[in-house]
Chains A and B, each alone.
Chain A
Amino acid sequence: EAQVTQNPRYLITVTGKKLTVTCSQNMNHEYMSWYRQDPGLGLRQIYYSMNVEVTDKGDVPEGYKVSRKEKRNFPLILESPSPNQTSLYFCASSPWDRASGNTIYFGEGSWLTVV
């Protein structure tokens, strides 16, 4: 089954304790991205990657890191989480193919609470 899988789905952590949210897709997509969603603010892009070893900042990259060592994986790293990073996070991927219309596939989301 074609899917984007992110883990953990739910996490409560403490300020300053490094954490990683993993994301994996099995569709061989070039494009992957991380978003956070907060009430009233919609989806905001954190980082994106057009291909292996190619990453770029989105709209709200501060406090986050990413890496793209393999095509299928795109982990989101919070080196020193703070309470303002409490949010719902979505990983997404897309084939980046004009013929397919660049449909975006989302993971189920990760609820992160930083106390």
Chain B
Amino acid sequence: RKEVEQDPGPFNVPEGATVAFNCTYSNSASQSFFWYRQDCRKEPKLLMSVYSSGNEDGRFTAQLNRASQYISLLIRDSKLSDSATYLCVVNGGSYIPTFGRGTSLIVHP
């Protein structure tokens, strides 16, 4: 079983839609969690960290479920500019980051 798993998509949604991605991880000792955004063939950039209590940044909400070992990203009121690949990153007990393969989002007019 891969350490960090994501549905590759693509998720194809209209502007204004709400879309959610999940990411499951296998290492129960994982310490920290992140969502990164990667535009086509550019470098990944941090979108947001994921805290135990959940956190929100504008239209984006991240949640952590330690019992079920998954994190989620919710995007409300999708914009065309949200089209990208979203990478889940999990830091294990040794702080070595593990990347998911990414979920592709396409927002269309």
* A residues in contact (CB < 8 Å) with B: 31, 35, 40-43, 48, 88, 90, 94, 96, 98, 101-104, 106-109
Most buried by B among A43, A107, A108: A43
Residue ID in chain B nearest A59 by CB atoms: B98
Known: A42-B100, A101-B49. A109 touches B41 (CB 8 A): yes
- Give the interface SS of chain A, mostly helix, strand, loop or mixed: loop
Residue ID in chain B nearest A90 by CB atoms: B43
Which of under 10, 10 to 19, 20 to 34, or 35 or more describes the interface residues of B?
20 to 34
A35 contact set on B, CB distance < 8 A: 99
Determine whether the beta carbon of A41 is less than 8 Å from that of B101: yes
Q: Does B25 contact A (CB under 8 A)?
A: no
The interface stretch among B13-21, B66-74, B87-95 is B87-95
A31 to B91, CA, bound (A): 13
Task: List 14 additional contacts besides A94-B97, A104-B34; criterion CB under 8 Å.
Answer: A31-B95, A42-B99, A43-B44, A43-B99, A88-B41, A90-B43, A98-B95, A101-B49, A102-B32, A102-B95, A102-B97, A104-B46, A109-B41, A109-B42
